[in-house]
């Protein structure tokens, strides 16, 4: 695809699921090594739609996914490849909160179609990042609840300041 469409034109979407957790950092390294001219990597939480609805075991708990997300982000960080996430609450993206698509949109006063898919829950009321975070997916909360959520005390301005720079 890159050869046909040109450098920095192809985007890959990686959907996090329980089968791939442990290989996420290696996947990031693979992408960087094999596709140095990739435009963008999006890392998405799984949606409970279609066949995943009957295979709920494919959806990892946020606390289970968090360490592998962090390792994947660290592998990608500083590589020059732009990466963003969708579907992960900011409290599970420590140090990479600026890589959230929803945080970018909410900081600009925009709303997205996906806001109907996500929601804030009681722990979010005490979170300093609530204005930038759309919370977990509603289908995720129906499966696991919201007790994993951990309010942050981080200054949202620190995250907003990083929006001007691409998430690399």
Query: Which of 10, 45, 18, 16 is closest to 28 using CA atoms?
Result: 16
Query: What is the structure's pLDDT at 10?
Result: 83
pTM: 0.88
∠ CA(17), CA(24), CA(106), 5° rounding?
70
Decide if pLDDT at 167 tops 70: no
CA 118/CA 154 separation, integer angstroms: 21
Q: How far is CA 104 from CA 42, 57, 60, 101, in A?
A: 14, 30, 25, 5
Decide if pLDDT at 91 tops 60: yes
């Amino acid at each position: 695809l890159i050869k046909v469409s040109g450098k920095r034109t192809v985007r890959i979407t990686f959907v996090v699921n329980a089968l791939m957790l442990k290989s996420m950092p290696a996947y990031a390294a693979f992408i960087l090594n094999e596709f140095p001219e990739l435009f963008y990597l999006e890392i998405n939480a799984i949606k409970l739609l279609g066949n995943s609805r009957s295979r709920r075991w494919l959806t990892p708990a946020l606390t289970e996914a968090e360490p592998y997300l962090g390792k994947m982000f660290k592998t990608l960080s500083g590589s020059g490849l732009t990466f963003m996430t969708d579907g992960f609450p900011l409290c599970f993206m420590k140090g990479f909160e600026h890589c959230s698509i929803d945080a970018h949109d909410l900081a600009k006063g925009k709303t997205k179609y996906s806001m109907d898919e996500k929601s804030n829950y009681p722990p979010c009321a005490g979170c300093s990042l609530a204005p930038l975070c759309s919370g977990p997916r509603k289908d995720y909360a129906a499966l696991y609840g919201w007790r994993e959520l951990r309010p942050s005390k981080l200054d949202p301005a620190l995250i907003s300041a990083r929006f001007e720079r691409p998430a690399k």
